Amino acid sequence: MPSPANPSPAYKRFEQSMKIDYSAWKNGTPYDIAVLAKFTPEERDLLTDELCKKSSLDWRDVEALRALATPKAIERVGRAAETQTDGAGIEAFMDDIVAQGWTPDIEDRFIEKLERVMSFTGALDRLYEIAQEHPTPAVMKQLLRNARIATDATVRYSTGGFLLELTGHVDTRYTFDPAIRPHLLALNSDDYKTYKAAVAWLEQKVANPKV
């Protein structure tokens, strides 16, 4: 990160917080957002330019750009919301939901992100949070589609568990209930009959919610 000619203590502190080691990554430690309020105008512009140059934003970058709140920063977060399907993209997309409400366009964009999501990107839990707030017929249809045919095996299993949680059949999508786990695992079975039986089981559960 480039430094101004005479960086303020606040700038140096934020610069240090951007050095994410394994411990900070594992624990989800954010950048030092609070110190941005003490930046000089030059420093705010410099940081905005640096973050906006990134081809793909991290969720920490999204938080920093939100806090900077310059027109350029806001525009860059908006582009991440449109194009990224990882955790940062979904984080940015949530801003659009707050600003616009749940519109047909927002729903279409959300379903597209559901369809493209991969595991281990930090996006799944955020997507599930949105789906819990907006379990529309179209969203439920895409969730079932993910459980059936997502190319990512973890997404199939995870979405199946989430659907059971959403419809009141389990308390948590991370269930290890021996009566349920085999059905979720079978969503990725190479045996067609076993796979079809698991899909039918899940569809029956979703069609008969306990909530």
In a domain, 23, yes or no: yes
Indicate if 97 and 110 belong to the same structural domain.
no
Indicate if 76 and 148 belong to the same structural domain.
no
| Residue 141: predicted pLDDT | 96
Indicate if 88 and 112 belong to the same structural domain.
no
| Residue 2: predicted pLDDT | 61
Backbone angles phi, psi at 121, to 5 degrees: -115, 0
Find out whether 20 and 13 touch, Cβ atoms under 8 Å. no
Q: What is the pLDDT of residues 64-121, one digit of tens each?
A: 998 998 889 888 888 888 887 777 788 888 888 988 899 999 999 899 889 888 776 6
Q: How many domains does the chain have?
A: 2
| Residue 71: predicted pLDDT | 87
Find out whether 38 and 8 touch, Cβ atoms under 8 Å. yes
Indicate if 42 and 130 belong to the same structural domain.
no
Indicate if 34 and 61 belong to the same structural domain.
yes
**Whether the predicted pLDDT of 34 surpasses 60:** yes
Domain that holds residue 71: 10-101
Indicate if 203 and 164 belong to the same structural domain.
yes
Last residue of a domain, one of 78, 101, 124: 101
Give, in degrees to the nearest 5, the angle at Cα 77 between 153 and 14: 100
Comparison of pLDDT for 124 and 161, the residue scoring more? 161
Task: Tell the residue number behind the tokens 């303020």, with chain if given.
Answer: 8
Over range 38-50, report the average pLDDT. Answer: 92
| Residue 121: predicted pLDDT | 60
Q: What is the pLDDT of residues 122-150, one digit of tens each?
A: 678 888 999 999 999 999 999 999 999 99
pTM comes to: 0.69
